[in-house]
């Protein structure tokens, strides 16, 4: 569920606690989440200072002054919880804990364990297997109507499936793809090669817009979060199609009803009336 906006919100929420801080202790409560956490993970982090936090696709990258980068992915149920140090027992799915010299704990909690936590050298980051084949950022300048059209014009898969492909564009997941296609009035089951240049040119700004507005909403949720015992990773956000089966399509003068179908084992929500 955490897609680009949730990951970006999480990154921003972690900055006040981590940036400029020294990580004094790392506790690994299991050896693997989705993949193994390196055996030297704790040793490489303890005593190091956090230079900055960046995001690439749905990954958070924590840059250390040692030249290492911690790489985190929230999977679908991962979140960070910030707590002051106390003697409370850890929660059931607290997998990795970072203690800072500011007296705070940054806890990675992930019930379904689809997330990922690893570390690599900063100068090897771009060539890391997780990042080297990754497509452009949806909010970056390279992502435009021409680019998307060129990427999909020969592809026979459904446009929805293509937008979920991180080699086409990164950061999108099931929710925001449904939202963007509904607003663009493009059917999720259309073959990607049948989508016209004109349509990709209108779709791209819609994708940017839906992501930007979600990041903004996440920013608002961070204000409420500050100083509380809250969790980073999710925030309340209203969707116009996702999860809205049976409800009226929100496109002006449409009058259709949101339907739910299955594509590749995933739910798709769309309006058969206006999404053609």
Partner DNA sequence: ATGATGTCCTGGGCGC
Partner DNA sequence: TGCGCCCAGGACATCA
Which residue in the set 90, 114, 147, 225 belongs to the binding site for DNA (CB under 7 A)? 114
The answer to whether 142 is a known catalytic residue is no
Please, which residue, 50 or 164, has the CB nearer to DNA?
164
Of 13-21, 97-105, 167-175, 198-206, which part binds DNA (CB under 7 A)?
A: 167-175
Site for DNA in 66-85 (CB under 7 A): 73, 75-77
The answer to whether 6 is a known catalytic residue is no
Distances (CA, A) of 35 to 2, 75, 94, 113: 18, 11, 16, 9
Q: Which of 21, 58, 79, 151 is catalytic?
A: 58
Asked if residue 177 lies in contact with residue 160, where contact means CB atoms within 8 angstroms, the answer is yes
CA 111 to chain centre: 17
- Asked if residue 54 binds DNA (CB under 7 A), the reply is no
Please, which residue, 97 or 152, has the CB nearer to DNA?
152
- Asked if residue 153 binds DNA (CB under 7 A), the reply is no
Greatest Cα pair distance in the chain: 60
Which residue in the set 113, 153, 190, 208 belongs to the binding site for DNA (CB under 7 A)? 113
Distances (CA, A) of 141 to 111, 144, 146, 205, 206: 36, 7, 12, 11, 14
- Asked if residue 58 binds DNA (CB under 7 A), the reply is yes
Separation between Cα atoms, residue 18 and residue 100, nearest integer Å? 7
- Asked if residue 161 binds DNA (CB under 7 A), the reply is yes
The answer to whether 38 is a known catalytic residue is no
For 166-226, the DSSP string reads TTTSSS--HHHHHHHHHHHT--TTSBGGGS-HHHHHHHHHHHHHHHHHHHHHHHHHHHHHT
Please, which residue, 32 or 121, has the CB nearer to DNA?
32
CB of residue 104 to DNA, shortest distance in Å: 25
Structure tokens at 87: 């003697």
The site map against DNA for 214-253 (x = CB under 7 A) is: ----------------------------x-----------
Site for DNA in 85-104 (CB under 7 A): 92-93
Distances (CA, A) of 82 to 3, 11, 66, 129, 156: 20, 12, 24, 30, 45
Separation between Cα atoms, residue 154 and residue 150, nearest integer Å? 8
Question: To which residue do tokens 């030249």 refer?
Answer: 67
- Asked if residue 259 binds DNA (CB under 7 A), the reply is no
Please, which residue, 31 or 65, has the CB nearer to DNA?
31
The answer to whether 58 is a known catalytic residue is yes
- Asked if residue 157 binds DNA (CB under 7 A), the reply is yes
The alpha-helical segments, DSSP class H, found in the chain are 4-18, 41-45, 145-152, 159-164, 174-184, 197-225
By CB under 7 A, name the binding residues for DNA: 1-3, 34, 57-59, 73, 75-77, 92-93, 111-114, 129-130, 154-158, 161, 164, 166, 173-175, 242, 262, 264-267
**Catalytic positions, written as ranges:** 2-3, 58, 266
């Amino acid at each position: 569920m955490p897609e680009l906006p949730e990951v970006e919100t999480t990154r921003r929420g972690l900055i006040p606690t981590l940036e400029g801080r020294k990580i004094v202790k790392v506790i690994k409560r299991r050896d693997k989440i989705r993949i193994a956490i390196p055996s030297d993970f704790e040793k490489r982090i303890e005593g190091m200072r956090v230079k900055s936090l960046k995001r690439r696709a749905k990954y958070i990258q924590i840059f250390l002054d040692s030249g290492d980068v911690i790489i985190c992915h929230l999977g679908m149920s991962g979140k960070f919880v910030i707590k002051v140090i106390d003697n409370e027992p850890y929660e059931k799915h607290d997998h990795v804990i970072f203690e800072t010299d500011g007296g705070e704990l940054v806890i990675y909690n992930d019930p379904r364990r689809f997330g990922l936590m690893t570390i690599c050298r900063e100068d090897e980051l771009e060539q890391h297997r997780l990042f080297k084949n990754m497509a452009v950022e949806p909010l970056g300048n390279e992502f435009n109507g021409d680019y998307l059209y060129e990427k999909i014009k020969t592809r026979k898969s459904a446009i929805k499936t293509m937008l979920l492909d991180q080699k086409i564009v990164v950061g999108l997941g099931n929710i925001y793809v449904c939202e963007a296609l509904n607003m663009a009035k493009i059917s999720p089951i259309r073959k990607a090669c049948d989508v016209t240049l004109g349509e990709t040119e209108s779709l791209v700004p819609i994708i940017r817009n839906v992501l930007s507005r979600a990041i903004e909403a996440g920013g608002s949720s961070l204000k409420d979060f500050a100083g509380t015992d809250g969790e980073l990773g999710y925030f309340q956000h209203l969707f116009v199609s996702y999860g809205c089966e049976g409800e009226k399509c929100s496109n002006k003068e449409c009058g259709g009803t949101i339907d739910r179908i299955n594509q590749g084992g995933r739910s798709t929500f769309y309006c058969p009336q206006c999404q053609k």
